A and B are shown apart, each in its own frame.
Chain A
Amino acid sequence: MKTGQNIPFKFLVADDSEFARKSLIMALSRIGGNLAGEAFSGQDAVQKYRCLKPDIVFMDITMPGMEGIDALERILQDDSSAKVVIVSSLSHREIVKNALKKGAKHYITKPIQIAPLADIIQFVLSR
């Protein structure tokens, strides 16, 4: 489902922090997102992606067990058209470049700023 600011899109949030998931879900819901599901680890995100087929995934990097970048690669192996956005507190060039090289469609730094989210989603889903 392609989206603009007011068209609903289905999203999956993968983060081991309840606070981070809650904050992101609240922000995305405000701009027309519908929560497909929440994942607590990379492995959980891969499984939930297969079941829920969201339009877009928001993935943390540092998670217990399988990390976000590995989960991103697994999701893209299953579905090369998957749209995964990395959401992390880490922001050094090396890690951002690596995430984009591995197939992330965008990289958002925590704490989440609500204002640019709609534009980022529109950009990612239109690619």
Chain B
Amino acid sequence: MRLDHINPIVDSAITVLAEFTGSPVNRGDMKLRRRPSTSRDVATIIRLKGNVDGRIIIEMDGSTALAMAGLMNNDLFRELDRLALDTLMELANIIVARAVSSLNELEFALRLAPPLIFTGTNVSCFSSLDTETLVVPLHTNVGDMNLSLALRMKTL
């Protein structure tokens, strides 16, 4: 994974989360995982296609998910119902689309697939994309999230 792939995605996540929460977002220390997997209650996954192939995963605990969806809808959610899950998918979509737009202004030609959302912990993702995953912790005023990036430059 290259820094010029990673930075626009992390910057986009920090900017969009700060816009929606109305508070600064702090970035924690990055970690590497052997393959894409999730360890928190709610994970939204977006596939990137083009000259970079990979997945971006935004994961958070259930309480953070409820608080985030509530903040974005100006409403109180007691459970992760359809609207709450849809809200979290749209959040991920906005973060990744903004990053894709920044990357496409450089030398990239990327497209993004519609988001998928999973609830439950320890979901492993098996695919032909056998690549390490970079995990970037993000600390927001509604709770902590992980931004996981499993990306590789496509060889033509």
- Where the two chains meet, the residues of A that have a C-beta atom closer than 8 Å to any C-beta of B are 16-20, 22, 62, 64, 88-95, 110-111
- Hey, which chain A residues are within 8 Å of B16, CB to CB? 111
Determine chain B's interface SS by DSSP, over half rule: helix
- Hey, which chain A residues are within 8 Å of B102, CB to CB? 92
- Hey, which chain B residues are within 8 Å of A19, CB to CB? 72-73, 83, 86-87, 89-90
Q: Are A111 and B94 in contact (CB under 8 A)?
A: yes
Task: List the B residue with the shortest CB-CB distance to A64.
Answer: B114
Docked CA distance A123–B99 (Å): 29
How many A-B pairs have beta carbons closer than 8 Å: the answer is 51
Q: Are B73 and A22 in contact (CB under 8 A)?
A: yes
Task: List the A residue with the shortest CB-CB distance to B88.
Answer: A19
Tier of interface size on chain B: 20 to 34
- Hey, which chain A residues are within 8 Å of B104, CB to CB? 92, 94-95
Smallest Cβ distance from A25 to chain B, in angstroms?
12
- Hey, which chain B residues are within 8 Å of A17, CB to CB? 86, 89-90, 93
Task: List the B residue with the shortest CB-CB distance to A15.
Answer: B90
Interface: B80 (CB within 8 A): no
Q: Are B90 and A20 in contact (CB under 8 A)?
A: yes
Interface: B82 (CB within 8 A): yes
20 A–B pairs (Cβ distance < 8 Å), ordered by A: A17-B89, A17-B90, A18-B83, A19-B72, A19-B83, A19-B90, A20-B90, A22-B73, A62-B97, A62-B112, A64-B114, A89-B93, A89-B94, A90-B100, A91-B101, A93-B105, A95-B101, A95-B104, A110-B97, A111-B20
